Amino acid sequence: MRTPDEIAAELADTIRHIYARPSMYARPDNIESTLWNFHWAWAIVYETEQLFRDTHIAKLREFDAASGLVSRFKGDNPDASDDDAQTFAFQHWREISAAMNVPLDS
């Protein structure tokens, strides 16, 4: 059976892969759900669910983005590409990753 640290290492690896190759994991309009799920699993392993909730909600409130960062960006920039919206969302999701101590350097 894997230890919590071994599980967390696998989750961190997957989160890094999502940032590097998002189209392998979800369409642009669903990528935040994928990130949320893997960060939630990370939070469970380290018993930091409340920190994750608080950090995620604070980020969404910062941009008045109840429907997510991709949606907010596209709403503010209707001519923007999916890549531009994803880049914006990833910039802020990486801040969430950092707050959760997810190692983004392999």
With respect to residue 104, please indicate whether it lies within any of the assigned structural domains: no
Q: What is the pLDDT of residue 87?
A: 96
Q: Are 74 and 80 contacting, i.e. CB atoms less than 8 angstroms apart? A: yes
33: which residues sit within 8 A by CB, 6+ positions away? 26
- Give how many domains the chain has, as a whole number: 1
Q: Is the pLDDT of residue 59 over 80?
A: yes
Determine, yes or no, domain membership for 106.
no
Predicted pLDDT of residue 27:
92
Residue 105, domain member (yes or no): no
Q: Which two tokens stand for residue 102?
A: 């997810």
The residues, ordered by sequence, that sit 6+ positions from 25 with a Cβ below 8 Å of its Cβ are 17, 18, 31, 34
pLDDT tens column, 66-87: 999 999 999 999 999 999 999 9
Angle between helices 31-46 and 49-62 (to 10 degrees): 150
* Domain region containing 95: 4-99
